[in-house]
């Protein structure tokens, strides 16, 4: 599966970091450094989602067990006679 990046989210994240004045110790990040950090975050998200997708594909498929309730049909008809509840 080819990785797709949300470029809008990357730019919004980079601008948010830059406007908030993200810093490391006394060094305030430039916009370029904020953009690199935003790309790194997005790559991590895509890798994580890809791993989850692969795990989901490799999971065994459960068979659906169909339950036959024909044996209860007479009981339910008697319990709700005339479409009313008998407060038993």
Q: What six digits make up the tokens of 84?
A: 């009313």
Structure confidence by residue, pLDDT tens digits, 39-61: 999 999 988 988 888 887 777 76
For residue 64, is it within any domain? no
DSSP structural state of residue 80: T
Q: What is the C-alpha to C-alpha distance for residues 16 and 11, in angstroms, rounded to an integer?
A: 8
Give a yes or no: residue 26 inside a domain.
Answer: yes
Residue 84 — very low, low, confident or very high, per pLDDT cuts 50/70/90?
low
Kindly state the tokens that stand for 16. Answer: 């948010």
Does position 3 have pLDDT exceeding 80, yes or no?
A: no
What pLDDT, in 10s, does the model give residues 11-40?
Answer: 999 999 888 888 878 888 899 999 999 999
Give the structural domain span for 52.
7-58
Domain count, the chain: 1
Check if the beta carbon of residue 72 is closer than 8 Å to that of residue 31. no
């Amino acid at each position: 599966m080819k990785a797709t990046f949300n470029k809008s989210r990357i730019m919004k994240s980079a601008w948010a970091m830059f406007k908030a004045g993200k810093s490391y110790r006394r060094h305030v990040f430039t916009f370029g450094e904020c953009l690199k950090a935003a790309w790194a975050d997005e790559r991590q998200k895509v890798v994580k989602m890809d791993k989850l997708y692969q795990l989901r594909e490799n999971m065994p498929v459960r068979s659906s067990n169909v339950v036959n309730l024909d044996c209860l049909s007479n009981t339910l008809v008697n319990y709700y006679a005339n479409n009313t509840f008998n407060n038993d």
